[in-house]
Amino acid sequence: MKKIQERNRALVSYVALPWIFLTVALLGGVRVSAEEHAFVFFPPPLVALILAMLLMVWFARGSLIEFNRWLELRQPMLTLFSNLLTLAALFFASAQVFNSVLPESGLLHWLFSFFFLWTLWNNLFSSFDARRLLRSLAVLFGTAFVLKHLLLASLYAPDGGVLRRIAGVVLQGASLGTLDAQAFAPATGYISFFTLALYVAGLLLVEPSQVGSANVGIDKVVRAYLSLNEAERLEARASILEDELDEVTKVRARIEE
């Protein structure tokens, strides 16, 4: 049973994850034009690469990825190469995920970019584990997806009602006339949704660092201890010392026997 689990984990780590993130990196820049319904590829802008770098720091802070373990030189060369490929694919997939939910140009592009930068930077130094990290990413990308592919797309839709068209004209004026650049066929939203879902699924398949999980547990114990008053702290220390004395007594009794 243990061999089967190790084999499945190896297949996921060295085969499934690189292909998943490479697929996300390819689909994240794909758009479908509204007029000709042809595929158009948008390369990731510079701000998407910066956001991807911050997100990689998030992964390290949340113990989802431990770079020292992934890039250990004493491991087999094939394993090291696979880990390097997975990290590179994860970086470009992260950049393309941002590219998928960012408006293509104009004021809206920079407003969305500032929203991502502000969120990532504010949470960069907070304490969180891998599960909390994945939940935060799902909410972050889900919000951006709804704003771009549902709200903005519905405002620009040519078959919308009068109020929707008026709102689209007002928003186009507020965005300095750049709303036309966001007009794509509805299939673009489906591609973006599949890209986001595949990206999150790939992150769920990544095995979190056990060391990081242990550190998170220790942090919780320390925070719980610091939240106690002085009397409760004395009682907790006395209880710990009592347990230690009981263990020492048991060990001495075994030695004497």
Statement to judge: residues 117 and 162 lie in one domain: yes
Residue 117 has pLDDT above 60, yes or no: yes
Nearest-angstrom CA–CA distance, 178 and 174:
9
Q: Tokens at residue 99, please?
A: 């590219």
Q: How does pLDDT run across 176-213, given as a tens digit for each residue? A: 445 555 567 888 889 999 999 999 999 888 876 544 44
Question: pLDDT confidence of 21, banded at 50, 70, 90?
Answer: very high
pTM of the shown model: 0.70
Nearest-angstrom CA–CA distance, 153 and 168:
10
**Positive or negative CA dihedral for 248, 249, 253, 256?**
positive
Statement to judge: residues 19 and 37 lie in one domain: yes
Residue keyed to tokens 């140009």 = 105
Statement to judge: residues 122 and 191 lie in one domain: yes
Q: Quickly count: other Cβ atoms within 10 Å of residue 13's Cβ.
A: 18
Whether the Cβ atoms of residue 23 and residue 197 lie closer than 8 Å to each other: no
Q: How does pLDDT run across 41-87, given as a tens digit for each residue? A: 889 999 999 999 999 988 888 878 888 888 887 888 888 888 899 99
Question: pLDDT confidence of 128, banded at 50, 70, 90?
Answer: low
Domain count, the chain: 2
Nearest-angstrom CA–CA distance, 166 and 180:
15
Statement to judge: residues 225 and 191 lie in one domain: no
Statement to judge: residues 49 and 124 lie in one domain: yes
Statement to judge: residues 104 and 220 lie in one domain: no
Statement to judge: residues 203 and 224 lie in one domain: no
- Concatenate the DSSP letters of all residues of 177-227 into one string: T-GGGG-B-THHHHHHHHHHHHHHHHHHHSPPPHHHHHHHHHHHHHHHHHT
- Structural domain that includes position 143: 2-209
| Residue 175: closest CA among 78, 238, 106 | 106
Please say which residue of 188, 209, 230 terminates a domain: 209
Nearest-angstrom CA–CA distance, 78 and 108:
44
Statement to judge: residues 128 and 150 lie in one domain: yes
List helix spans (H) across 62-161.
67-70, 77-101, 106-122, 130-145, 153-156
Question: pLDDT confidence of 24, banded at 50, 70, 90?
Answer: very high
Coil vs helix vs strand at 170? helix
Statement to judge: residues 9 and 52 lie in one domain: yes
Statement to judge: residues 151 and 251 lie in one domain: no
Statement to judge: residues 233 and 186 lie in one domain: no
Nearest-angstrom CA–CA distance, 75 and 58:
25
Nearest-angstrom CA–CA distance, 170 and 177:
10
Report the chain's terminal Cα–Cα distance, integer Å: 40
Statement to judge: residues 153 and 240 lie in one domain: no
What is the pLDDT, as a whole number, of residue 159? 54
